[in-house]
Amino acid sequence: MTAASDFNGKTVIVTGAGGALGGVVAQCAAARGARLGLIDYAQLNDELVAGAGDGAVALSGVDLTDPDAAARAIDAVLEQAGRLDALINIAGGFVWQTVSDGDAATWDRMYAMNVKTALNATKAALPHMTAAGAGRIVNVGAAGAVKSAAGMGAYAASKAGVMRLTESLAEELKDQGVTVNAVLPTIIDTPTNRADMPDADFSRWVAPVDLAAAILFLASDAARAVTGALLPVPGRV
């Protein structure tokens, strides 16, 4: 089976599907034959949904920091798709704020946006995957959580939490046919990052399509022997 069709017949849920990375991952998964579940807190645009292919389930206004809302969203995709093969947790956020000028609420917000969203979506998906004896979960960590920098404390701490969640869950599930891995990008080449850092050399950053390729490898059958991995995707940063 070629990469162009290696997700045929499979259902892939992408959280944060309306974002710069989520939209590219969804597009690439659809091109490889996946039936998509698109989940986001923001309103999903019509172009993204139209490009997601036949049978796609698009859910906007989903607060994944709420376990019940996450469970309802995952169940809604399963009700229409009938199966769940991969969950790609992209929903999250970023704040640059120094400790001296910031507040504890920022740390709570980063934990909620980055850790709780992944945790809640995963807990909702797990019963379906373990019942099937197969599944792929891919999280988005951050290279900045390996070695943080000034102003990155709250964000890096939350992404470190995602990485520890990935490792712990991989150990829990390694005998149940479900793999859990994470990618660790540096700066992703998004419109927001370009606007925030207009003098940077964008060519050195990680292109969303390249990060999507790494994510979809981990979500594919080809990665069935890989679990608990924290895969650096540094670009040339």
pLDDT tens series, the chain, 237 aa: 456 689 999 999 999 999 999 999 999 999 999 999 999 999 999 999 999 988 999 999 999 999 999 999 999 999 999 999 999 999 999 999 999 999 999 999 999 999 999 999 999 999 999 999 999 999 999 999 999 999 999 999 999 999 999 999 999 999 999 999 999 999 999 999 999 999 999 999 999 999 999 999 999 999 999 999 999 999 999
Is position 31 within any domain?
yes
Catalytic residues: 155
Q: What is the pTM of this model?
A: 0.96
Instruction: Give residue 54's pLDDT.
Output: 86
- pLDDT at residue 144, rounded to an integer: 96
On whether the CB atoms of residues 158 and 116 are closer than 8 A, the answer is no
Rounded distance between C-alpha atoms, residue 226 and residue 36, angstroms = 23
Which domain covers residue 70, as residue numbers?
3-231
Query: Does residue 236 fall inside a structural domain?
Result: no
Contact 43, 61 (CB under 8 A): yes
Q: What b/e readout covers 18-30, taking b as 16+ CB neighbours within 10 angstroms?
A: bbebbbbbbbbbb
Using alpha carbons, select from 7, 1, 127 the residue that is nearest to residue 55: 7
Distance CA 217, CA 204 (A): 22
Does any domain span residue 203? yes
Q: Starting at the edge strand that comes first in sequence, how are the strands of the sheet with 57-59 ordered? A: 57-59, 35-39, 11-15, 86-89, 135-140, 178-185, 230-233
β-strand pairing of 57-59 with 178-185: unpaired
Q: Please indicate, yes or no, if residue 110 is contained in any of the structural domains.
A: yes
**Residue 178: inside a domain, yes or no?**
yes
Q: Is residue 157 assigned to a domain?
A: yes
What's the pLDDT score for residue 3? 67
In a domain, 237, yes or no: no
Distance, CA of 90 to CA of 140 (rounded, Å): 6
Number of domains in the chain: 1
Domain annotation covers residue 113: yes
The reported pLDDT for the residue numbered 31 is: 96
Which CATH number do you get for residue 198?
Answer: 3.40.50.720
H-state helical runs in the chain: 20-31, 46-50, 67-81, 104-110, 117-132, 153-173, 191-196, 208-218
Query: In this structure, what token pair is assigned to residue 116?
Result: 């709780």
Cα angle for residues 119, 125, 128 (degrees, 5° grid) = 150
